[in-house]
Amino acid sequence: MLAPVGISLEELQLAARNHGLPLETLRHDVTPIGLHYLLIHFDIPQVDARTWRLAVDGLVERSLSLTLEELKERPARTLAVTLECAGNGRALLSPHIPNQPWLLEAVGTAEWTGTPLAPLLEEAGVQHAAVEVVFTGLDRGVQGDVEHDYARSLPLADALRDEVLLAYAINGQPLPPQHGFPLRLVVPGWYGMTHVKWLRSITAVGKPFDGWQQAVAYRLNEDTPVPRMLPRSLLVPPGIPDFLTRERRLSAGPCLLEGRAWSGHGPIERVEVSVDGGRSWGDATLGEPASEFAWRGWSFRWDATLGEHVLACRATDASGRTQPDEGEWNEGGYCNNAVQRVRVVVTY
Ligand SMILES: Nc1nc2c(c(=O)[nH]1)N[C@H]1C(S)=C(S)[C@@H](COP(=O)(O)O)O[C@H]1N2
Ligand SMILES: [Mo]
């Protein structure tokens, strides 16, 4: 059972708007639209694609104003990318952090289609004085008592990476309103907040962006912004759930445990599984990811014996980063990639 932490009705209101990935759907290589998690800070804008334009401006030689059709006529690329909210795991940190109360379900993998950003910036001619690129959405609201448009920046070098896309489609369909119609930024390897939805402008700037979502939010402390995604692995919950507690029940005998693992710091190189609450670990078999930026499937054979067991999984990436036993608390509740524990009851 989950320990009570006193979630407020306001947090419930947020949780009902911003749903997570039902963990049993980790079985899909590519998450079907509608099962992918959602995080929407303010309201979902309603956009008329006929009048919408993307502005490319700021410290550029030539400002651009592009229609959706013009963006679709540019070279296109489709990339499977795993997105995870930086606040995934927040509700498992103590003391409680009043915010979107994610447990572990703020993740999904989609096939994003769009046009690479770098050639567009080249066409606009980014000036030498530019150090960052600011991406601004059409959504506006109040957070931390400050009214602002949702906006995030990237250092110029990161914005120019090959894999950064301006996406207008997800899983072969036009973006639905909740995922950023008509255009969103996709920055593979970075936590969700970077992938600005409902894009209206891309602005080259000469000093580090100090917008609320950049300078106040998404920091581990004053000096440390949230880094690229830390490694994490999750189990497809085995067996069947209890309706209210979601506790798992399964039958004794051979059981194939399965899950996914990902990291923004290079490929997943190892997933370990424990069936005794983390006292001993064995290596899972790894599958092939749909792309270098997508999660990796894994499986582990277990002969389930009668009684209660706590299952756990732990991923390690090519950089040597691995998952800790306990997450480190920070004010925003970011980057809690502590190992997942799933209690199961094995019956006849
Ligand atoms: N314009 C805008 N972009 C946004 C957000 C937002 O509220 N407004 N939320 C961000 C956050 S915090 C996350 S985790 C991802 C979630 O993307 P998804 O809802 O498509 O899964 O979008 C990001 N992009
Ligand atoms: Mo997020």
C-alpha dihedral (40, 340, 317, 290), degrees to nearest 10: -60
Task: State the average pLDDT over residues 165-187.
Answer: 98
Protein residues near ligand 2, an ion, with CB under 5 A: 39, 85, 192-193
Specify the pLDDT at position 3. Answer: 77
- What's the rounded mean pLDDT across residues 62-73? 98
Beta carbons of 105 and 20 less than 8 angstroms apart: yes
d(CA 137, CA 302): 47
- State what percent of residues in the chain have pLDDT above 70: 100
Ligand 1 lined by 45 (C-beta under 6 Å): no
78 Cβ partners below 8 Å, 6+ apart?
A: 111, 112, 113, 169
Average pLDDT over all residues of the chain: 97
pLDDT at 6: 85
Answer whether residue 133 shows pLDDT above 80: yes
DSSP 150-173: EEEEEEHHHHTSTT-EEEEEETTE
**Over the stretch 5-26, which tens digit does the pLDDT of each residue have?**
789 999 999 999 999 999 999 9
Alpha-carbon dihedral angle through residues 53, 172, 269, 27, given to the nearest 10 degrees: 130
End-to-end CA distance of the chain: 22
Which of 197, 200, 212 maximizes ligand 1 atoms within 8 Å of its Cβ, making it the mutation to test the pocket? Answer: 197
Query: Residue 151 pLDDT more than 80?
Result: yes
Please check the confidence at residue 175 and state whether its pLDDT lies above 80. yes
Regarding pTM above 0.85, the answer is yes
pLDDT at 1: 65
Average pLDDT over residues 336-340: 98
Which residue's CA is minimally distant from atom 18 of ligand 1?
A: 38
Query: What pLDDT band is residue 187 in, cutting at 50, 70 and 90?
Result: very high
pLDDT tens for 255-290 read 999 999 999 999 999 999 999 999 999 999 999 999
Residue 196 CA: distances (Å) to CA of 50, 81, 214, 316: 21, 15, 12, 28
User: Domains of the chain (ranges plus CATH)?
Assistant: 9-225 (3.90.420.10), 232-346 (2.60.40.650)
Question: What is the phi/psi pair of residue 129, to 5°?
Answer: -70, -10
**d(C-alpha 129, C-alpha 346), whole Å:** 63
pLDDT at 95 over 90: yes
